[in-house]
Amino acid sequence: MSNPSFLQIPKTPVTDLGEAYGNHLFVKRDDLISYSFGGNKVRKAVLFFEEIDRGGYDTVVTYGSEPSNHCRVVASLAADRNLPCILITKVEDGGRGKTTNNERLAAICGARRIFVTRDEVHDAIEKTMEDLRLAGRHPYFVPAGGHGNPGTHAYVQCYREIREEEERTGTVFDRIFLASGTGTTQAGLVAGKLLHGDPVQIIGISIARTNPRGENIVRESVRSYLPDFPEEEINRAVIFDDGRILGGYGKADEKETACILDVWRRFGIPLDATYTGKAFYGMTCYLGEHGIAGENILFLHTGGAPLFFDDLAAGRLTKDKEEENT
């Protein structure tokens, strides 16, 4: 059984990168959470595991893609408790890709994979849960990506940390940018901002979904967390930019790759092609297109270090295609 205090996430650092892209740039390093390579999936999953611990569940089931950071973290937290873990894993339309670092890290935690196609996901989850119950188990399903009120709450807590940082340093952030997938992370920051009545703008850069679906899912998550809050205010506070999907989920175009290299060389900060690279590059485009200059900009680094190393090993950040793994 795990030591609960080690799952208390300490405040993550905010790094001042100075003048960059016409603004004063800061990065909040949620990628440096000191557990399982960190990232937003740790903040979220820890709260779901509080429910798992309280409810006396004996098996953990979740769902994700082959490179999923969420599956890695859930596998770690389950292993820590000696709970069997089943990862329903969606394979891309073209079939199984190369084994990812996140898959390897989940495997060494003993997690079992069930590979399914996109169309099979729903039924596979139902059947897995049903079979476990019939076998006398008490399984818990963690929603994909840690979506749901506990996940939203994790980023309300992160928003409080951002405010504390502002109070400590006297810097007020004008805008916060982040990678938005299921939108739960963004929903938490937006809920935090609304609860405090702050003017800061929170801009989610979509890594896959398009509008209106993308922004509506973020709004729904905020509404579910703040059911009594005026709906128009929630709608206005959700900015979901779907213009930066570029090469598509998991794929970088040349400009995104150039940006990832630039950030590594200048600041020593790793960005991956799927999430943080798209969001960071999208942020630089957004700042330019909206004529934003001289502001304090905070980029929330949501993690994904194992993906950075996948990209590196596959030669996606270099031109040496001959280095690709086989």
Ligand X SMILES: *Cc1c(COP(=O)(O)O)cnc(C)c1O
Nearest residue (CB) to ligand X, 132 versus 162: 162
Q: What does the DSSP assignment read for 189-217? A: HHHHHHHHT---EEEEEESS--TTHHHHH
Nearest residue (CB) to ligand X, 57 versus 275: 275
Residue 22, exposed/middle/buried by CB under 10 A (0-12, 13-18, 19+)? middle
Q: 3-class DSSP state for residue 271?
A: coil
CA dihedral for 282, 27, 146, 199, sign (positive or negative): negative
Nearest residue (CB) to ligand X, 132 versus 246: 246
Residue 170, exposed/middle/buried by CB under 10 A (0-12, 13-18, 19+)? exposed
Interface contacts to ligand X, rule CB under 6 A: 39-41, 69, 145, 179-186, 275-276, 302-304
* C-alpha angle 48-237-155 in degrees, rounded to nearest 5: 20
Measured CA to CA, the distance from residue 26 to residue 12 in angstroms comes to 13
Q: Which residues on neighbouring strands pair with residue 114, listed in sequence order?
A: 88
CB of 286 to ligand X, least distance (A): 16
Measured CA to CA, the distance from residue 277 to residue 293 in angstroms comes to 21
Measured CA to CA, the distance from residue 70 to residue 206 in angstroms comes to 17
Nearest residue (CB) to ligand X, 60 versus 132: 60
CB of 301 to ligand X, least distance (A): 8
CB of 69 to ligand X, least distance (A): 4
Nearest residue (CB) to ligand X, 137 versus 160: 160
Nearest residue (CB) to ligand X, 59 versus 275: 275
CB of 39 to ligand X, least distance (A): 5
CB of 272 to ligand X, least distance (A): 7
Q: What does the DSSP assignment read for 7-67? A: GSPPPPPEEEEEEETTEEEEEEEGGG-SSTT-SHHHHHHHHHHHHHHHHT--EEEEEEETT
CB of 5 to ligand X, least distance (A): 25
Nearest residue (CB) to ligand X, 34 versus 169: 34
CB of 18 to ligand X, least distance (A): 24
